[in-house]
Structure 1
């Protein structure tokens, strides 16, 4: 049974396995990974995990350009299957971003994790959230629609056309 867990250094090897499955680059939505993050070494990974967990802690000062955000990893049997992030404030990429590693797709994990994070959004006091996905990402669009996402529009972005959905909480 999958669970949402707070990012932890204890899953370094499992996270790297998921990262390697995605292939080169920084494109795992929901992980908060930046091009400057060095995640291969234990020290670099620990620094990245500290940044992620600090973004959810109101007592932790944020770096310039950072906004409050709750990160969770989707884990099953000590395997990192994906990640999901809830941005506490409206962001151009929406409030919630998520990604599932290729070998774990088509199991309903994104739908399950999104439902859990919508609950977290309610706890934060949000009354609706924006979720954005690539216009051609039919699986993600269906995931959002399963949670009563209402399509606002499709817009051109720097990453290409994107669907913008609002989910009322």
Structure 2
């Protein structure tokens, strides 16, 4: 059974396993170094940090409230994580959008990306959003398919100044 839940201390060791899996796949850049330290040294403080982000408490300048969810199977295996940003600022309109998601490396190509996005879209609907923006690198074909399977309509592309990579923007009406 799949559920989209709020982060919980009860899945501490499972979350550490997921972080190690990203690290072993060479994808530890997906986690901010400060968060990695907090995850390893004080997991309950990390959970509180995520809750504070959701409530807009102690946000860094230019950041917006964002709620983190974990996609969990059978209440014990974390398959991935999504983040729902409550509104957009210009930087998020350019890259990032309302929703970001990631599936742990050993669980990819099993349909979980499509499911985590669909479930996060439902959370966005419940939050009162009527449409959401998602972005992905143009060469990230897997992510583009996931967004399209969830009714994402490509609206524009742009080059990121700091990487030179093309990104695609998709809007999804809720």
Fold match (TM-score > 0.5) = yes
- Tell me whether 1:20 sits opposite 2:23 in the alignment: no
1:149 maps to what in 2?
A: 152
76-85 or 141-150: bigger deviation: 76-85
2-side partners of 1:26 and 1:36: how far apart?
Answer: 12
Q: Which runs of 5+ in 1 are unaligned?
A: none
Paired positions, count: 161
Normalising by structure 2, we get a TM-score of 0.84
| SS of match in other structure, 1:10 | helix
1:101 maps to what in 2?
A: 104
Normalising by structure 1, we get a TM-score of 0.87
2-side partners of 1:51 and 1:26: how far apart?
Answer: 19
CA contact (8 A) 2:22 2:28 kept: no
2-side partners of 1:26 and 1:17: how far apart?
Answer: 12
Q: Which structure shows the bigger proportion of residues in helix conformation?
A: 2
1:27-77 per-residue CA deviation (whole Å, 9 max, x = no partner) reads 44xxxx422121112x2x2222111122223xx633333421111011114
RMSD of the alignment, in Å? 1.7
Deviation for aligned residue 1:25: 5.5
| SS of match in other structure, 1:36 | helix
